[in-house]
Amino acid sequence: MAADKLTSRSEDFSEWYNQIVLKADMADYGPVRGTMIVKPYGWKLWENIQGALNSRFQATGVENAAFPIFIPQSFLTKEAQHVEGFAPELAIVTHGGGKELAEPIVVRPTSETVIGDAYSRWIQSFRDLPVLINCWNNVVRWEMRTRIFLRTMEFYWQEGHTAHATAAEAEERTLMMLDAYTDFSVNEAAVPVVPGLKSNNETFPGADSTYTIEAMMGDGKALQSGTSHNLGQNFAKAFDIKYLSEENEREFCWTTSWGVSTRFIGAIIMTHGDDNGLIMPPRLAPIQVVVVSIFKKAKEKEAVLPVAQRIFDELKAAGIRVKLDDRENMSPGAKYYEWEMRGVPVRVEIGPRDVQKESAALARRDIPGRDGKSFVPQENIVAQVQNLLDTVQAALLKRATDFREDNTHDVTDYAGLKTAVQTGWARGWWAGSDEDENIVKQETKATLRCYPIDQPEGEGVCFYTGKPATRVALFGRAY
């Protein structure tokens, strides 16, 4: 097992991450450089993320649909900033059906253009508004330095695209989806994100403003985990999305777009994982509970298996995502190692003694070793396991929140920022220019992650320029 040992986080966080992705059976590398294969265990997590986001989208009236992956190259050029942002990252289809194409086709890097074109045809009157559509799909961006889930050439995401009659409605929708993302992150993934506004430098190409949820990873770096863009009338003007108002005037629409991708799986891994492997937040875990039967002799097996099976059946009937591990020729230790690596939040162990005493051992994944074990009667095991799942969920959120707070430092000068971003985030009053922000980035590798929505009252002094400042910004090194 030594050869199989996971590199520790303190030793090499990056290597720890790469190993976990493979060892926890989440994903693999695809044959084309930069592509990934998402294996069943990773995809099930994604499906659970999809379910949790879908229910939030639907509660706000959003419906799912699908737009083509192929976009005429000319579409990309219609919005000036958009093409500038995405042109270097495009994959281009030049041949189809054995012939060279008259106009090359772009594999979508995002769908504002093709959806803008459709909306210009679908939207005629104020009665057609708002249009609230979301797509679950795959997009392609030609990335040079790729890492599974965090940055891949092809990735999976949802992209929401809405059109509205007024600027106020578009801004309301942009913030509504930011709220949905924050609620999902905190309450489903136990990832305590900071919602905020991106700086001008970091705004989506073609947007008026971009909001973000920023998460702190286990190494103190930031991961942008979802974005919500107010596109103003930029795409409406580029694609002629107009409606006839109640006053019978032709007006341009106001549009938004917002997305969360398989990158979020990286956020979960790097927020909760430890030196034994992954830790899945119970509400999204593909497997919430594993029941491990422990026996050596045939007689023990006869006694243990039916009890393990009965407990498995009870948990399953209660709607818990549970797996029974009754493999033979494998030591309990090897089984524990595997399920810990895969991050199953709660393990139920049933051995010969438990059968006699009508007990079971419960092990929680977030607290390793004996401290995380409790011994309980088999009676009422469902309620006990459900409680423990809730406990683990809350503990993961608290631990990640504490970690973020401990590693976020209020700074009042540039030296303070330089120190803070070695290990975590810097938070301080900021009135710098776009150029100032670039200098900070060059000198410290830290970027302005966001202006948090939650701002202190009053005003302050910019830690970099010394000018009066009206907003506090968060800085950090980022993935």
- What does the binding site for its own copies look like in residue numbers (CB under 8 A)? 28, 30-32, 35-40, 42-44, 46-47, 63-72, 75, 87-98, 104-105, 107, 114, 117-118, 121-122, 133, 137-138, 140, 142, 144, 153-154, 156
Q: Which of 280, 356, 353, 345 is nearest to 315 (CA)?
A: 345
Dig out the tokens for 354 from the structure: 């438990």
Q: Considering the complex, state which of residue 133 and residue 190 has its C-beta at the smaller distance from its own copies.
A: 133
Q: What is the DSSP string of 345-399?
A: SEEEEE-HHHHHHTEEEEEETTS-SGGGEEEEESTTHHHHHHHHHHHHHHHHHHH
User: CB-wise, 87 or 175, nearer to its own copies?
Assistant: 87
Closer residue to its own copies in complex, CB, 253/362: 253
Q: What is the rounded distance in angstroms from the CA atom of residue 479 to the CA atom of residue 477?
A: 7
Question: Which is nearer to its own copies, 21 or 411 (by Cβ)?
Answer: 21
The structure tokens listed for 245 are 């108002």
- Between CA 17 and CA 277 the distance in angstroms is 9
Closer residue to its own copies (CB): 138 or 470:
138
Q: Least CB distance from residue 116 to its own copies, whole Å?
A: 11
Q: How far is CA 384 from the centre of its chain?
A: 30
Q: Which is nearer to its own copies, 90 or 478 (CB)?
A: 90
Q: How far is the CB of 415 from its own copies (least distance, A)?
A: 38
Residues with Cβ < 8 Å from 371, sequence gap 6 or more?
A: none
Whole-number minimum distance, CB 246 to its own copies, in Å? Answer: 13
Cβ distance to its own copies smaller for residue 92 or 394: 92
Rounded Cα distance between 298 and 301, Å, is: 5
Instruction: Report the residue number, 153 or 426, with the smaller CB distance to its own copies.
Output: 153
CA 354 remoteness from chain centre: 40
Q: Which residues make Cβ contacts (< 8 Å) with residue 300, sequence separation at least 6?
A: 351, 352
Instruction: Report how far apart, in Å, the C-alpha atoms of 368 and of each of 276, 311, 345, 377, 394 are.
Output: 9, 23, 11, 21, 17
Please, which residue, 69 or 382, has the CB nearer to its own copies?
69
Smaller CB separation from its own copies, 116 or 220: 116
Q: Is 179 helix (H, G, I), strand (E, B) or coil?
A: helix
CA–CA dist 295, 323 (Å, integer): 18
- Closest distance to its own copies from the beta carbon of 143 (Å): 8
253 near 165, Cβ under 8 Å?
yes
State in angstroms the smallest separation of the CB of 479 from its own copies.
20
In the complex, minimum distance from the CB of residue 262 to its own copies, in angstroms, rounded to a whole number: 9
What are 232's two structure tokens? 């103003």
- Residue 69 C-beta: closest distance to its own copies, Å: 6
Q: How far apart are CA 345 and CA 396, in angstroms?
A: 10
Residue 143 near residue 153 (C-beta atoms within 8 A): yes
Q: How far is the CB of 123 from its own copies (least distance, A)?
A: 13
Return the DSSP state at 125: B
Look-up: residue for tokens 């947007």? 207
Q: Minimum distance between the CB of residue 154 and its own copies, rounded to whole angstroms?
A: 6
From the CB of 300, what's the least distance to its own copies, in Å?
A: 23
